[in-house]
Amino acid sequence: MDIKKQFKEGLITQNPVTVQLLGMCSVMAITTTLFNGIGMGLSVLVILTCANVVISLLRKIIPSKVRIACYIVVIAGFVTIVDLLLQAYLPDLSESLGLFIPLIVVNCIILGRAESFASKNGVAASAVDGVFQGLGYTVILVIMCVVREFLGNGTFGGGILNGGDGIRILPEGIPALGMVLPVGGFLTLACVIAAMQYFLNKPKKNADTKEEVSK
């Protein structure tokens, strides 16, 4: 288990959103306020980590032919637990996220990590993978929420700060309301992915340039 490598993969080189391009629907749909982003991100992190641990524990006894069905049953169990807890203790968040919490069952991030990692590695490594992949997902959600909320509403911390209204930074009437609409989600996500890809490819380009100069 290489914690540093898993941390780097989860947040940067194998980020589930900007590199693997998974879970796009929820990323674009709920990233309108910081409250939504943090709530959704932490929900996915908890479910992903718990599912990874259980699937890793059962990986040797789950028949290969029904492994996907078994993974979905495990994931669905944890999604139900998280959904009921949100309804009980954070009803505002549960109402705001709506169907996107139950839809975590079919989120490709969780099923993908179950198939590609948890089913092939030990419990500790699978738990760490779940935490870092979930953290990478949460970070991107938070970035998108901050950008969209600031440009679309002119506020910061919607749903959390200042009684839930957020701290107003721009005067009313100035923000571009389109940023909180679906088109704003597409544009923001495209910019975030482009920035990440530029960051990932830049060192390679610099290395190639140095190699050519040395020749």
Write out the two tokens for 174. 């100035």
Write out the two tokens for 1. 């288990």
Q: According to the model, what pLDDT value does residue 25 have?
A: 85
Phi, psi values for residue 156, rounded to 5°: -140, 135
How far is Cα 5 from Cα 38, in angstroms, rounded to an integer? 24
- Whose CA is closest to 102, among 120, 116, 85, 83? 83
Contact 49, 35 (CB under 8 A): no
At 137, which amino acid appears? Y
Contact 56, 118 (CB under 8 A): yes
Q: Cα–Cα distances in Å, from 156 out to 33, 142, 153, 177? A: 8, 11, 8, 15
Judged by phi (left if over 0) then psi (alpha if -120 to 50, else beta), residue 154 lies in left
Strand partners, 156: 167
Mean pLDDT by 10 residues, the chain (215 residues): 87 91 87 92 95 94 92 95 95 90 89 91 94 95 93 88 84 82 90 91 62 54
Q: According to the model, what pLDDT value does residue 205 have?
A: 54
- Three-class SS state of 119: coil
Instruction: List b or e across 193-215, with b for residues whose CB sees 16 or more CB atoms inside 10 angstroms.
Output: beebeeeeeeeeeeeeeeeeeee
Length of the chain, in residues: 215
